[in-house]
Amino acid sequence: MSTIDYSDKIPNNVNLSEDRTLQRALEQWQPNYLQWWDDMGPDGSQNFDVYLRTAISVDPQGWAQFGHVKMPDYRWGIFLNPAEKDRKIHFGDHKGEAAWQDVPGEHRANLRRIIVTQGDTEPASVEQQRHLGLTCPSQYDLRNLFQVNVEEGRHLWAMVYLLHKYFGRDGREEGEALLERRSGNEDNPRILQAFNEKTPDWLSFFMFTYFTDRDGKFQLCALAESSFDPLARTTKFMLTEEAHHMFVGESGVSRVIQRTCQAMNELKTDDPARLRAAGVIDLPTIQRYLNFHFSVTIDLFGADQSSNAAIFYSTGLKGRFEEGKRNDDHVLKGQTYRVLEVHNGQIVEKDVPMLNALNEVLRDDYIADSRAGVERWNKVIEKAGIPFRLTTPHKAFHRNIGALAGVKVAPDGRPVSEAEWAANVDRWLPTDEDRAYVASLMGRVVEPGRFANWIAPPVMGINRQPVDFEYVRFN
Ligand SMILES: [Fe+2]
Ligand SMILES: [Fe+2]
């Protein structure tokens, strides 16, 4: 079970060859996927040999293998964590019953929607990032970008497998639609707004992989609890890959900060204009990017009160983050949770039924996890002896979904008037000028071991290779 069969056209550990109909359906989808990769995958890089990790097993020890591969030849496949014997549903109204190996008819529509929504984010991020290779700050970073991209492609495979295997014709149609929507396209956009935003530069990319891939982690963790066992097993293995994406984001931003602090100390200044003249990204600009990506990402968790969230939980489709580690009844009826609301221009707390507030519960868990990494960034600034702190904005800041949408709130959580917002928004969110400046830094650095001026080299290379290893052969 833990070893992956690579002799099949589609690598898998689900005995695909024993299910001829499914195998044929997926083999028909495969060329369409490759066509999508060709059209929308990393721009101008199909012929590069990239030092990629490929899953070869789902054994936590030694699950991946590294080697130079052309991305279109990457062995995208279907890998599920091993089944847990006699797994039981451990939350919601069906608690204690056997986990489902098939989709119960009454939950079919909701499960399909959950899987499609998750699946849609995977190709979306590849589309958002497709031009970044042209302006990479180093070979090391270029390789990491491509690694993230091929794995998001594999995550799409993971969801399409579930759609094909368990949802019949509807599932196959959804599989096609996942290749047809396009990030940012007016007529046929991706489902969630954060996945229609642009990722125009590498600071955005690092913020995106730090904040938005972390949303992925929390969604996948919630789905890894699902009563629908194949979904739980698929998402568990996706989480193994996801950890690297967040590492790319956290270490990327950290290296940008490190380089900026170095320049601040050399020039003995915190003047953004002088730092920009020196070609580094000033800390207030980094804070504005952080504010943007944080606020756009927390919208992804949905409305703070949602009857769908209650249904998804009670029916056992989607659990909470670390459901198994919580000490409550895992049914949550009669319990309450605090959400924020706006009353006469003031933000007030309000107790609501917890089941309806489960989006907010997941969002709050996400926020706590996000803050931990921001504190690690602050350590870099502190170590450089610079009196500046990055902060995550208040969760009511710059929101577009739920009760907080439409109210103007400062990053510190103070409700402000339209006029005050307009007078200050340039200090709170990236301006066109910020974005133009960051864009002006983006040049292509590809000699092994060389790094763009605005970012520090990493401490270590990938898979114990040296930092100046030839991670990408351009051919
Ligand atoms: Fe993903
Ligand atoms: Fe990811």
Q: Give the tens place of pLDDT for each residue, 143-196.
A: 999 999 999 999 999 999 999 999 999 999 999 999 999 999 999 999 998 899
Per the structure block, which two tokens stand in for 23?
Answer: 């195998």
272 CA to centre of ligand 2 in angstroms: 32
Strands 336-343 and 64-70: unpaired
Residue 1 has pLDDT above 60, yes or no: no
245 CA to centre of ligand 2 in angstroms: 5
Calculate mean pLDDT across residues 238-248. 94
Report the candidate in 127, 90, 109 with the shortest Cα–Cα distance to residue 171: 109
Per the structure block, which two tokens stand in for 309?
Answer: 């969230």
Per-residue pLDDT band at 61 (split at 50, 70, 90): confident
Q: 0.75 exceeded by the pTM?
A: yes
Identify the nearest ligand to the CA of 122 by its number: 1
89 CA to centre of ligand 1 in angstroms: 25
Residues 273 and 425 sit within 8 Å (Cβ to Cβ): no
Report the candidate in 18, 190, 162, 194 with the shortest Cα–Cα distance to residue 79: 162
Q: Report the distance separating Cα 248 and Cα 303, nearest Å.
A: 29
> What pLDDT, in 10s, does the model give residues 331-346?
999 999 999 998 888 8
243 CA to centre of ligand 2 in angstroms: 8
122 CA to centre of ligand 1 in angstroms: 5
240 CA to centre of ligand 1 in angstroms: 10
20 CA to centre of ligand 2 in angstroms: 31
Identify the nearest ligand to the CA of 152 by its number: 1
Strands 64-70 and 49-55: antiparallel
| Residue 126 DSSP code | H
3-state secondary structure of 315: coil
Residues ≥6 apart with Cβ < 8 Å to 267: 274, 275, 278
Residue 58 has pLDDT above 80, yes or no: no
41 CA to centre of ligand 2 in angstroms: 15
209 CA to centre of ligand 2 in angstroms: 7
Per-residue pLDDT band at 56 (split at 50, 70, 90): confident
Would you state the pLDDT for residue 319?
A: 98
Residue 6 has pLDDT above 80, yes or no: no
| Residue 384 DSSP code | T
150 CA to centre of ligand 2 in angstroms: 10
CA dihedral 151, 123, 247, 143 (to 10 degrees): 60
3-state secondary structure of 460: coil
Calculate mean pLDDT across residues 8-22. 92
Q: Report the distance separating Cα 119 and Cα 68, nearest Å.
A: 27
Would you state the pLDDT for residue 135?
A: 97
Per cent of the chain over pLDDT 90 is 93
Residue 84 has pLDDT above 60, yes or no: yes
Per the structure block, which two tokens stand in for 260?
Answer: 């900026």
65 CA to centre of ligand 2 in angstroms: 19
63 CA to centre of ligand 2 in angstroms: 17
Identify the nearest ligand to the CA of 235 by its number: 1
Q: Kindly write down the DSSP assignment for every residue of 241-283, as one continuous string.
A: HHHHHHHHHHHHHHHHHHHHHHHHHHHT---HHHHHHTT---H
Would you state the pLDDT for residue 347?
A: 92
72 CA to centre of ligand 1 in angstroms: 18
293 CA to centre of ligand 1 in angstroms: 17
- Phi, psi at 325, each rounded to 5°: -90, 0
Q: Report the distance separating Cα 219 and Cα 230, nearest Å.
A: 16
> What pLDDT, in 10s, does the model give residues 346-388?
899 999 999 999 999 999 999 999 999 999 999 999 999 999 9
Report the candidate in 104, 208, 94, 216 with the shortest Cα–Cα distance to residue 159: 216
61 CA to centre of ligand 2 in angstroms: 21
Lowest-confidence pick of 64-68, 125-129, 160-164: 64-68
The mean pLDDT of the chain is: 96
154 CA to centre of ligand 1 in angstroms: 8
The stretches of 342-430 forming alpha helices (DSSP H) are 358-383, 418-428
Identify the nearest ligand to the CA of 156 by its number: 1
Longest alpha-carbon distance in the chain:
68
Would you state the pLDDT for residue 5?
A: 73
Per the structure block, which two tokens stand in for 259?
Answer: 């380089």
238 CA to centre of ligand 1 in angstroms: 7
Tokens 């577009």, residue? 400
Would you state the pLDDT for residue 2?
A: 55
226 CA to centre of ligand 1 in angstroms: 18
Q: Report the distance separating Cα 291 and Cα 298, nearest Å.
A: 11
CA 377 to chain CA mean position, Å: 19
247 CA to centre of ligand 1 in angstroms: 14
379 CA to centre of ligand 2 in angstroms: 25
Residues 390 and 374 sit within 8 Å (Cβ to Cβ): yes
List beta partners, residue 415: 409
Go through 424-433 and write b for each residue having 16 or more CB atoms within 10 A of its CB, e for each that does not.
eeeebbbeee
115 CA to centre of ligand 1 in angstroms: 12
